[in-house]
Amino acid sequence: MFIKFIYLYRIYSICDTTVYESAILIKVDKKTKKKMEEVKINWSEEIRKFIKTRIESEGSKNVALAVAMTSKLFRRAKAKGFDTTSTIRKFRDERYGPNSS
């Protein structure tokens, strides 16, 4: 968020100069629109907050899915007697040289 100070008639004010590059359009019925106008809410800001929150929650779902998949793969590898520590050590030694931490 960029903040711009404006000097007008010796009064200082702070203006939010956030630039929105995209726009979306939502349609609501006339009854809903009328009710929205009766309530003193900045609907644009409310919708922006909702969208950001929803995106964050979807990101959390992706992380949870990745953890579940990793856990499942780990259990499979362990069941087959696969030693992950020696494999990790091998790749680290190849990348960084012997005895790397």
Q: What percent of the chain stands above pLDDT 90?
A: 16
Q: What letter would DSSP give residue 71?
A: H
Q: What is the pLDDT of residues 13-58, one digit of tens each?
A: 455 556 667 888 888 899 999 999 999 899 989 998 999 998 888 8
The pLDDT score that the predictor gives to residue 3 is 52
Q: Where are the domains of the chain?
A: 3-96
Nearest-angstrom CA–CA distance, 32 and 44: 15
Query: Which has the closest alpha carbon to 23: 2, 46, 44, 50?
Result: 44
Secondary structure string (H, E, C) spanning the chain: CCEEEEEECCEEEEEECCCCCCCCCCCCCHHHHHHHHHCCCCHHHHHHHHHHHHHHHHHHHHHHHHHHHHHHHHHHHHHCCCCHHHHHHHHHHHHHCCCCC
7: pLDDT confidence band, cut at 50, 70 and 90? very low
